[in-house]
Chain A
Amino acid sequence: MYEPKIIGFLCRWCSYTGADLAGTSRLKSPWNLRAVRVPCSGRVSPELIMRAFDEGADGVLVLGCHIGECHYDNGNHRTAKRMPVLHALMEFAGLEPERLRLDWVSASEGQRFAQIATEFTETVQALGPCKWQQNGLPIHTAEVMEVPDAGVGG
Chain B
Amino acid sequence: MGNAPAGALAAPALALAAAAAALFAPPALACSSCGCGLPGSSSDVSSVGGAALLFGGESRWLVQSGISFRDITGSFNERGSWAAKPQGSTLTTVQGNLGLTYYPADGYTVGLQAPFAINRLVGAQWGSQGAVSPVDELDGVTGPRQAGGWGDLNFQASALLYRGSEDLPAVAAWAGLALPTGSAEGDAAAFTGSGVANGLIGLSFLKGYGPLELSASAAYQRPLTRPAGAVASAFYIGQALLGQAQADVEVFAGWKAGVGINGFVGATGVVDSAPTAATLSKLKVVPSLEWRPTPDEGVRAAFGADPTVFPGTNAMTDSTLYLVYFKYL
A binds B: no
